[in-house]
Amino acid sequence: MTRMLCLTISLLAAGGIASAEQYWLTYEGNDFPENEGWERRWGNRQGSHQGGAIRTIEDGVLTLDTLYDEGAYDFAKLVSPGLFTPGPGETFVVEWRGMVDETLGDHYDAAVGLRSDDAWSVGFGIFTDHVVRKLDAGVSIPITPGVFHDYRLLSTDMRTYALFIDDELAHEGSLTQGNMASSIGWGNVVSGASSRSHWDYVRFGIVPEPCSISMFLVLSVFFARRRT
């Protein structure tokens, strides 16, 4: 079974490299994001590359702590035109596993966001006990505090999406037209709010739609390192 999983992942990755249409990229908390192909963006009210989060990695989990300074921000971003357009019969997938165990203030700090190749976007802010959609005060999804949660966002057209939390459908909605494109970012993103967030993994890619869910589950089983 393990050999088959490895083969499936290798074939999917190879297809992405060759065609830039199907691929699967993962951050597994084994090193700091900037050492694994992500761009680190950090700073505080004094400017970029000032301050940032207190960052630690333990047991494959990256922790970002900005509680000491509400002006500090620290997040990972990847900009790559062409990676964010699923074709016919394909699904764009983002998944992450994390926990926010403390926040200061009423605004979210930890968040995940993406922008399609034609500048449609969606993002979610994460509190200790609920998740909100960025720029949409009407969306608030309760979560159990103090434990890690698994998140999965699926879109076949980069216009609409479905968000699953712990394998349960939590919200469906539409992306918003913006003016920036082709990126994904995650971390403590807000200068003016602070939190301590923990990131077990962040994964994304384009998979074939007919087996998108099963393929996603195969990849998840292969990479998963469940924690309590």
- Identify the residue with better confidence: 185 or 17: 185
Tokens of 118: 């034609």
DSSP 8-75: HHHHHHHHHHHHSSSEEEEE-SSS-GGGGTPEEEEEETTEETSS--EEEEETTEEEEE-TT-TT-EEE
pLDDT of residue 21: 75
pLDDT of residue 8: 36
**Phi-psi region at 119: left, alpha or beta (left = phi > 0; alpha = psi -120 to 50):** left
Q: Residue 169 pLDDT > 50, yes or no?
A: yes
- Residues, the chain, total? 228
Helix or strand run (H / E) with residue 221: helix 212-223
> What's the N-to-C CA distance of the chain in angstroms?
25
Match 């989990």 to its residue by tokens: 61
Q: Which of 25-34, 172-181, 208-217 has the lowest average pLDDT?
A: 208-217
Give the chain's mean pLDDT.
87
Instruction: Summarize pLDDT for 8-39 with one digit per residue, the tens.
Output: 343 444 443 334 479 999 999 999 999 999 99
pLDDT of residue 137: 73
> pLDDT exceeding 90 applies to what percent of the chain?
79
Q: Residue 225 pLDDT > 50, yes or no?
A: no
Q: Which of 38-52, 123-137, 181-195, 199-213 has the lowest average pLDDT?
A: 199-213
DSSP state of 144: -
- Strand blocks (E) in 86-167: 90-104, 110-115, 120-126, 130-133, 136-142, 149-155, 160-165
* Partner residues linked to 115 by β-bridges: 121, 183
Residue 184, C-beta contacts closer than 8 angstroms, at least 6 positions apart: 77, 78, 84, 94, 112, 113, 114, 115, 204
Alpha carbon distance 153, 227 (integer Å): 21
Instruction: Summarize pLDDT for 124-139 with one digit per residue, the tens.
Output: 999 999 999 987 778 9
The mean pLDDT of 202-221, rounded to a whole number, is 67
pLDDT of residue 136: 77
Q: What structural domains does the chain harbor?
A: 2-223 (2.60.120.200)
pLDDT of residue 26: 97
Instruction: Summarize pLDDT for 43-97 with one digit per residue, the tens.
Output: 999 999 999 999 999 999 999 999 999 999 999 999 999 999 999 999 999 999 9
Q: Tell me the pTM.
A: 0.84
pLDDT of residue 219: 53
